[in-house]
Structure 1
Amino acid sequence: MISSEKSATFRIMLWIGVHVMDTFAFIKARDVSHAIQAASQSNTAQQGAEVRFVAGGTTLIDLMKLSVERPSQVIDINHLPLDNVEKLPDGRLKIGALVRNFDLAHHEIVQNEYSVLSQALLAGASAQLRNMATTAGNLLQRTRCVYFRNTAMACNKREPGSGCSAIEGDNRTLAILGTSSNCIATNPSDMNVALTALEATIHVQDKNGQRDIPIDDFFVVPGSTPQRENVLEPGDLITHVTLPPSRHGTKYAYLKLRDRASYEFALASAAVVADVVDNKFNRVRIALGGVGTKPWRSREAEQALEGRTVDQSVFREAAVAALSEARPQSENGFKIELAQRCLAHALTLATETA
């Protein structure tokens, strides 16, 4: 039933078999200001839990079906003008929040100047999902930890203070970096790993204006607040992402290791962005996926590489440094060596034509 035609607000009830989901208001945002206003009015004491923006819905709708996400209001932002990829006058690349993963992966500039991002996007999900999933949605993609998605199990991320079933349970696929006694869930995104290595900036707008957040500051480790995965505040809307100007001759590689060849999340992945001059690393950025509670920037590996000769022994040294702070659980200790080998091979791929 339409409750207000003027505001395009609908009350919706979704049926999943015989299970009835909670009802929620559905608002079609007219523009960015309308979307932010609607979100700001709804988000009060629950730190944003009562409202969600929806675009592709490839994660949100699944979690609503499972009663993991239970918003009272969903704001459709698909019609907002945030779906362009363009070069800015200063050489940066601007990627709209609503650019679909497929379009971004196949964009000529991305393929030619930021190929690690194209590689990462094409390694993720399936063609069908890439056609729907968006840049901002991927940034906000939530963990695939089975305990997070099962409301019958204790999960501090879903229900703070209830406990973490994964620590003593099925933790083979979960994190070994950035964990705490409250949560060991991994960030599942491939795109986020590449964006971290590229030192992307996330641009966010709220009722007070816009702010720019370096991607390494955007995500937070669980610590004592595992329910908080990033620095967004209630009413915040991601409008776009920018990448620094591309550097001529930069070498890129994204390598993903997983249990099966497609449609599977990473057990370990590595993104490499490297400038090599006279067979030495002049500048290098490293990010790991599948092993961290957030996309994991490895400054330890970068320090072990910069100024060093391109050599397999140097690669192995950097890989060991990258995992030096790993804290494995009962079933995922194998990830230490797996991630080390993944990074060493990604470095080989990035530099083999240097």
Structure 2
Amino acid sequence: MKKLILSIILLLIILTISCDSPTEAIDNSQPGRRDYVWSVDTVKIEFNLLQKLSGVAPNDIWAVGPGGGLDKTIWHFDGVNWSTDGKSRGISPLTVFAFSKNDVWIAGYEGIIWHYDGNNWKESLNYKVANHDISFADIWGESPNNIYAVGVSIYDGISKSIIFRYDGQNWKSNIFHDYNYQFHRIRKDINGNGNYYILGYAISNSPNEEYYNDIGIFEYDGESSLNIFYKETFNIENFADVRNFNDKTYLRIGRKIYSNYPRKEILQDNKPNTGGQIWGRNEKDIFLRMQDGIAHYNGTDIEYIYRFENSTSISITDAVIFENEIVFLAMDLQNNQNLILRGALE
């Protein structure tokens, strides 16, 4: 009897230790579906091509682009139509992020950030430094009192990576002098290690080189520690991306896509026309930008779910993913117009 009791106690101790030890999470998600019904919206704006999307529902989506008249840079979709209010505002937006229908942020050139409260747009930041060309390429937030905007400040051909944080009241800046990178995207691994991950492009100072000559991914603690852990020459084999699926960060590093923490390879994208960017709902429901359309990974394989008829002139720039719908923004350079591809599950 004593041996039995001791055996039970020992087993309980082992089980307790096992339960408290870090283990790989069990993925119970089902393979993502591919039976989307597609519709295509066309938005034609003189001298402007929209670049970024954000939305909280399929009938509440924002799109922005910096060109053309300042009265046609901010567009909204209500589930039926795309429209702009036609008001000229002092911002050329490059990026947009929506928390809710009453809480939307845009940022762009000249160090400017605006906020929408459901009724009006209002300037939130106008950051100026003499002789510096400042722009924000991405704005994203974990909550309304923890928002980040990232970009670059250029002076006399020298680039400095910039990060701004909004605490619900004020914007505070960090400028990193050691990195000649334009920060392009920032995400926090909320359900992972809690750190921030930033996608950046090194800007060439030579007129004889490509505009971007290197690509990198940085890890940031939200305060002062910033370290680059992926750096390669910018080309199709070395693409990188940083995205969140349901508050967990995923990284594209070259041809491979990883969940960030714990770092685990999810898939390898060997498609010849890969386009680099990724979006998704979970590890078995990932969408891949292709140079000639949109591909999908369902946990087993990669297949196209949409192909462009003229792939040489159409380029996807952004997407938003909802529970049963997906929305992709694309530039149609040949016809100088914007395409919004909306896929709904049957």
The higher radius of gyration belongs to 2
Tell me which interval the TM-score lies in, with the shorter structure as reference length. under 0.3
Structure that is richer in helix per residue: 1
Bigger fraction of residues in strand: 2
